[in-house]
Amino acid sequence: MTSATPTADVPPPPPRTDAPSAISGRAIRPGDRIFLGLSRGSGIALLVIMGAITAFLTYRSVIAISGDHANFFTTFDWNATGTEPKFGIAVLAFGTVVSSLIAMVIAVPVAVGIALFISHYAPRKLASPLGYVIDLLAAVPSIIYGLWGALFLVPHLTGLYSWLDDYLGWTGIFRYGDGAARSLFTVGILLAIMILPIVTSVSREVFLQVPRMHEEAALALGATRWEVIRMSVLPFGRSGIISASMLGLGRALGETMAVATVLSPSFLIGASLLDPGGGTFAQNIASKFNEADEFGRDALIASGLVLFVITLLVNGAARLIIARRKEYSGAAS
């Protein structure tokens, strides 16, 4: 566009002419117009897709919810077939939120620890390969985490759960019967392992950006390594850690296959997190899909819409924090 000039009365030269073309060119040459049209069109197509997702999911959800013979938000059941379908997302919302929260509580401190390990503690020769490996692990497909979780993690957790039951069973939350450890807590642990790489990699990125001079300011005052981290690295990285956690949370909320393989679903909410049962939005869609008729699929779409909205909110919050931080660090530097 910078080469375009408003002298439109001269006939357009063929695009291959050289130097003088800049002055005699039309307002926008055909090639530029096509190219701009194509690229702008792609951007618009992306918006259209987003709009279509919202519109169609909402449309099918309206069909489903208006055919629901129970309250969609408070019902503890999922029975979307037959003449009087009754289904609600109460259990799914509970399970999704609880398992994701467990994942966050485990993953965020550990991820911050690993990020600090890579950025400030590990020997330099170890640090960059480690970052590399973490990035690679972020690419492991979720179904493989699911398979590993179901066939390896679950049997290895029963011992730990009985132990927790012995000492913390009185709280109710950690009561554990004798079943397989296919519970919301296990899902939380597995989700934690799955989101570790992404949370770590974003946090590490932020920690590496801490200006050297802030760290040196603390060092020169006679701060130990931990005090340097506390005085300059963590305050600088706080918003980065928050947004990394939100990105991880967004993943945990929407994770399907790993939950579907590990959880033994039920539509009862018990106080115990260790006993099998519960469900999440995504897991319920995957498990119920095969047996669902057309209305049943609409019902699943309705629950998917709720999940969509929740993840949008979480991701939006994360982006907002990142954007604010950019402004902040831009002003401060």
Partner 1 sequence: MSDVMTDRRPRAEHPGGTPLPVSLRQARLPRWTPAALALVSAALGTGIGLVGGLDSRIQWGLIAALLFIGGTFALAAGVEGARQAKDRLATSLVWIAFLLAVVPLASLLWETVARGTTVLDGFFLSHSMGTLPDALPGGGIYHAIIGTLEQVGLATLIAAPLGLLTAVYLVEYGRGRLAKVVTFFVDVMTGIPSIVAGLFILSVWILILGFGPSGFAGSMALAILMMPVVVRSTEEMLKLVPNELREASLALGVPKWRTILKVVLPTSIGGITTGVMLAIARITGETAPVLLLVWGAKTINGNPFEGAQQSLPLYVFQQWQQGSDASYDRAWSAALVLIAFVMILNLVARGIARWKAPKTGR
Partner 2 sequence: MAKRIDVSGLSAYYGGHKAIDDISMTVEPRSVTAFIGPSGCGKSTFLRTLNRMHEVTPGGRVEGKVLLDDENLYGSGVDPVAVRRTVGMVFQRPNPFPTMSIFDNVAAGLRLNGTHKKNELKDIVEKSLRGANLWNEVKDRLGKPGSGLSGGQQQRLCIARAIAVEPQVLLMDEPCSALDPISTLAIEDLIGELKERFTIVIVTHNMQQAARVSDRTAFFNLAAVGQPGKLVEIDETERIFSNPSVQATEDYISGRFG
**Eight-class DSSP state of 171:** G
Q: Which is nearer to partner 1, 193 or 271 (CB)?
A: 193
**Bridge-partner residues for 322, per DSSP?**
none
Q: Are 45 and 17 in contact (CB under 8 A)?
A: no
Are 257 and 326 within 8 A, CB to CB?
A: no
Question: Binding residue for partner 2 (CB under 8 A) from 236, 267, 281, 308?
Answer: 236
Q: Counting contacts by CB under 8 A, is residue 213 touching partner 2?
A: yes
Helix and strand numbers (H, E) in the chain are 13, 2
Site for partner 2 in 78-137 (CB under 8 A): 124
Does residue 166 bind partner 2 (CB under 8 A)? no
| Of the residues 84, 166, 227, 293, which one makes contact with partner 2 according to CB under 8 A | 227
Q: Which SS3 state, helix, strand or coil, does residue 86 take?
A: strand
**Inter-residue contact 120 to 208 (CB < 8 Å):** no
User: Is residue 235 at the binding interface for partner 2, with CB under 8 A as the rule?
Assistant: yes
Bridge partner list, 87: 78
Give whichever of 218 and 252 is closer to partner 2, judged by the CB atom.
218
**Least distance from partner 1 to the Cβ atom of residue 237, Å:** 14
- Select from 67, 86, 110, 214 the one that contacts partner 2 (CB under 8 A): 214
By CB under 8 A, is residue 58 in contact with partner 2?
no
CB 241 within 8 A of CB 318: no
Cβ-based nearer residue to partner 1, 39 or 271: 39
Q: Among residues 220, 291, 294, 330, which is the contact residue for partner 2, using CB under 8 A? A: 220
Closest CA to 156 of 186, 176, 184, 195: 186
DSSP label of 276? B
CB of 283 to partner 1, least distance (A): 9
State the residues that interact with partner 2 by CB under 8 A. 124, 211, 213-214, 216-224, 227, 231-232, 235-236, 332
